[in-house]
Amino acid sequence: MKIRLLFALVGLAIWFAVPSFAQQKEPTPSEQDRQHLDAHVKKSDEAWNNNDAAALAATFTEDAANVTNKGPIYGREAIEKRYADLFKHFHVSNHLNTVDEEWSNGDATDIAPVVIEGLPVKVISSGKSYKVFEQYPWEGHSSNYGPKGNRLNSSYGVGLGKNISSALLLRHGDWIHMPDIGWRQINEFANKKDSIEFFARYRDEYKSKHPRITIDMVVFALPSEKDAKDKRDEYKRKHPRITIDSAIKPES
């Protein structure tokens, strides 16, 4: 009986020990690993596009860290809470995660298709290319235009020349897509009327690769002025006069 128990104990311990030996070797991705990763990426995209915080959080481990540009978020629960909060304010669609040919490292277009209030991506082909200008960190520039806190940023912001804005009916807050660069949000006026200005970390970071660029897609993130006026007028029509039936005075 004792011997049987010991055999069982040995078997159990060896079963636990096997991974220790197996993982001494450098891991290389098998076809099965790739398939699992592809499925993982697909599941993540689906969760994003369903704006489903719980499903998205389920793609993380219990002790995961989500490193954002405002700091890390630790643990699946906190990550779920963060996405739940995000999806209350934004509707995400067309989320596409692509994996580079190198294993497990990929380009995510997280920022790009954040279509605010369900406004769709508009495909355009003006056939024109625009000159690229650069703004550098040491110039310490902060814009007086656009939304509060507006500033070009290496991750997402661009400045747009006034002629381009007029031609494509673009405003601050809208998104533009440029081939080989991706999606950027307009949060500046560029100095030159027919140019696009990028935040570059060093001279010629963008200009060397893209002396001129085209815009092939846009997202109108905010309703047009006419739409906004129509909405205001409709409200006035429905409620020419209103009453106040209760009020709350905040404690000082």
Partner 1 sequence: MKIHFLLALAGLAIWFAFPVVAQQTADPKTIEQFDEFNKKFDEAFNNNDAAAVAAFFTEDAVQVTPEGPIYGQEAIEKHFANLFTQIHVSEHINKTDRPPHPIGTAGNEVWRNGEWSFTLQGKSGGPIQLKGYWSAINVREGDDWKIRMLTYNLTPAEAK
In the bound state with partner 1, the residue whose beta carbon lies nearer, of 180 and 245, is 180
| Residue from the set 153, 163, 165, 214 that interacts with partner 1 by CB under 8 A | 153
In the bound state with partner 1, the residue whose beta carbon lies nearer, of 56 and 152, is 152
Tokens of 114: 């954040």
| Residue from the set 71, 118, 240, 250 that interacts with partner 1 by CB under 8 A | 71
- Binding of residue 65 to partner 1 (CB under 8 A): yes
In the bound state with partner 1, the residue whose beta carbon lies nearer, of 168 and 178, is 178
- Identify the residue whose tokens are 């009986």: 1
| Residue from the set 1, 31, 202, 242 that interacts with partner 1 by CB under 8 A | 202
Of residues 76-135, those binding partner 1 (CB under 8 A): 100, 102, 105, 107
φ/ψ of residue 91, rounded to 5: -105, 125
Q: How far is the CB of 239 from partner 1 (least distance, A)?
A: 36
In the bound state with partner 1, the residue whose beta carbon lies nearer, of 69 and 252, is 69
Selection from 109, 127, 135 nearest residue 204 by Cα:
135
CA distances from 226 to 158, 222, 230, 231, 232 (A): 25, 11, 6, 9, 10
Q: What is the CA radius of gyration of the chain?
A: 26
Query: In 10 A of CB 151, how many CB atoms?
Result: 15
Q: Which stretch binds partner 1 (CB under 8 A): 126-134, 137-145, 162-170, 243-251?
A: 137-145
Of residues 12-51, those binding partner 1 (CB under 8 A): 13-14, 16-17, 19-21, 23-24, 27
Tokens of 18: 């096997």
Q: What share of the chain is helix, strand, coil (3-state, %, to 5)?
A: 35, 20, 45
8 A C-beta contact, residue 136 and residue 198: no
Tokens of 183: 């999606």
**How many residues bind to partner 1 according to rule CB under 8 A?**
46
CA distances from 235 to 72, 117, 246 (A): 43, 19, 21
In the bound state with partner 1, the residue whose beta carbon lies nearer, of 105 and 125, is 105
In the bound state with partner 1, the residue whose beta carbon lies nearer, of 3 and 123, is 3
Which positions touch partner 1 (CB under 8 A)?
Answer: 2-3, 6-7, 9-10, 13-14, 16-17, 19-21, 23-24, 27, 63, 65, 67-72, 74, 100, 102, 105, 107, 136-140, 142, 148-151, 153-155, 201-203, 205
